[in-house]
Amino acid sequence: MQGLSIDSVNQSFADREVLSSVYLNCKIGEVVGLLGRNGSGKSTLLKIIFGSVKANFKYLNINNKVYEKGYLSKNLSYLPQDNFIPGKISILQAINTFCKRGHAELKQIEFVASNLNTRFYNLSGGERRFMECLLMIYSDMEYILLDEPFSQLSPLWIEELKKHINKAKADKGFIITDHYYKSILDVSDRIVLLHNKCNYNIDNEDDLVTHGYLPGFKA
Ligand SMILES: Nc1ncnc2c1ncn2[C@@H]1O[C@H](COP(=O)(O)OP(=O)(O)OP(=O)(O)O)[C@@H](O)[C@H]1O
């Protein structure tokens, strides 16, 4: 089956187990929102999928092929929590590196069009994050992992990013995590919660209360 899936993920740091038999999948055309409390293992899971952290055990399948590290598929982009594009690179150089197919869409965005020759070290923190997010959303890969894309952005740019994710998902699959959970609920086709080292499918906000992600009265 076409798609990305990872199952039987087990991960411990020293003696502490963080993920236990975790399963997550994503198809083309789908945005999967990944929620969880601080320290629940969201970033670790994305790093395991991408291949920058080696799990104790996992089984990763991308478009019917098993991979030890997701990046080896050459079909997976990953936005880490921290800035990753070197400051001396210009926006145009970054577009030419990551977005050979999606460059036209990117260049239509007003901020991009008016800053093509600006280097990343001359952007503000939020501008830099916005650009890195756009580059991953319109990158040439089919599967996109976004770790906290919204966290440094003002509301208008959060809305704009959501619009671009919705547009780009026609031929891509996204896995997105962020603590702006309302934006995650808005943009996602389905929600998975990491809690107590395990994955739970979430149908509505009440489930998030039941599983202890949102505060609320428990009967
Ligand atoms: N390299 C590491 N060495 C030791 N412990 C680690 C390492 N990386 C992560 N951890 C621990 O694993 C747990 C999960 O971390 P992770 O960063 O995946 O959580 P998260 O759900 O992304 O949290 P947040 O929402 O706060 O960013 C945390 O308790 C963290 O301290």
CATH of the domain at 97: 3.40.50.300
Whether the CB-CB separation of 154 and 183 falls below 8 Å is answered with no
Distance from residue 74's CA to the centre of ligand 1 (Å): 26
Q: CB under 8 Å to 204, separation ≥6 — which residues? A: none
> What is the number of the ligand 1 atom nearest to the C-alpha of 14?
4
In a domain, 34, yes or no: yes
Number of domains making up the chain:
1
Ligand 1, atom 30: nearest CA belongs to which residue? 39
Probe target for ligand 1 pocket from 9, 12, 43, 49, with the most ligand atoms within 8 Å of CB: 43
**Residue 218 pLDDT grade (very low, low, confident, very high; cuts 50, 70, 90):** low
pLDDT band per the 50, 70, 90 thresholds, residue 216: confident
- Taking CB atoms and a 6 Å cutoff, what residues make up the pocket around ligand 1? 13, 18, 36, 38-44
H or E element: which one contains 137? helix 125-137
In a domain, 217, yes or no: no
Closest C-alpha residue for ligand 1 atom 25: 38
Q: Is residue 219 part of a domain?
A: no
Share of the chain above pLDDT 90, in %: 91
Q: What is the pLDDT of residues 61-108, one digit of tens each?
A: 999 999 999 999 999 999 999 999 999 999 999 999 999 988 999 999
pTM score:
0.96
According to the model, what pLDDT value does residue 2 have?
85
Domain span at residue 40 reads: 4-210
Q: What pLDDT shows up at residue 217?
A: 56
Task: Using the mean position of ligand 1's atoms as its centre, give its distance from the Cα of residue 99 in Å.
Answer: 30
Q: Which atom of ligand 1 is nearest to the CA of 47?
A: 18
Alpha carbon of residue 10 to chain centroid: 20
Give dist(CA 156, CA 109) in Å, integer. Answer: 14
Mean pLDDT of the chain: 95
Question: Does the pLDDT value for residue 116 go beyond 70?
Answer: yes
